Structure 1
């Protein structure tokens, strides 16, 4: 373990990019909150959500942290996303997906640390697709 820290120490990656003065630009506002809490998640007592997190060794810090979604249906993602996941044979979200999807769909910041093979890639990729598809082209 430990990772190598990347290989860009001696690189000039991005060195030729122009600096942008964002104070002089009118940026197009964009939506960041796509999360629609499923009624089953809303009805789930906070104590049950806390107990589930503890059983999965999930620690959350901050205000407005959404409860985890324990099934794909509770994730309230569009059919074009969930249909593909279900076709791949997955039966339920992994713990990092259960907590990460609501966070990412709400546009919240998150640091997710989890073992290799735990589903981290789908934990951020599926919400990212939803965010990207919703933006003005």
Structure 2
């Protein structure tokens, strides 16, 4: 599977890939994972930001969660601390927010466009820090 183009992958190839990456899922019509950032459904400007931040390859949670989130589908993702869960939902959310009209004096009541809730202040600060890596480049504020 590592040398095939995404379009050449069979269902069996994707099954082996997911097993190798320890990606386990339930549910129907689950989109295929992205093995590289270039295969992801993220917009070019965000891919540039990902490159500038130094993310080389998506982690397994990002490989599967980003395509699911980009289809605006529900997802429960379970992965270890430091595995990239925050970016797995933050990148699709920033993509969605960036596609909306900017909030101004007239549209201020339409916002916020995105909200992330966290159980602790410490985690909220970590999430904000991660979001700032990408939102600065896209002129989105928290």
Give TM-score scaled by structure 2 length.
0.64
Structure 2, unaligned runs of 5 or more: 103-142
1:73 matched residue in structure 2: 38
- Structure with the greater relative contact order (CA < 8 A, sep ≥ 6): 1 or 2? 1
Q: Does 1:103 align with 2:68?
A: yes
Q: State the shift of 1:53 in Å.
A: 1.1
SS in 2 for 1:83: helix
Q: Please say if residues 100 and 112 of structure 1, whose CA atoms lie closer than 8 Å, have aligned partners that are also in contact.
A: yes
Please identify which structure carries the higher helix content. Answer: 2
RMSD value, Cα = 1.4
2:13 matched residue in structure 1: 48
Q: State the shift of 1:136 in Å.
A: 5.2
2:131 matched residue in structure 1: none
Partners of 1:52 and 1:92 in 2: CA distance: 15
Q: State the shift of 1:46 in Å.
A: 1.2
Partners of 1:43 and 1:67 in 2: CA distance: 12
2:83 matched residue in structure 1: 118
Deviations 1:42-81 (A, max 9, x none): 4321111111111222111111101111001000311211
Structure 1, unaligned runs of 5 or more: 1-39
Give TM-score scaled by structure 1 length.
0.66
Larger Cα Rg: Structure 1 or Structure 2? 1
2:93 matched residue in structure 1: 128
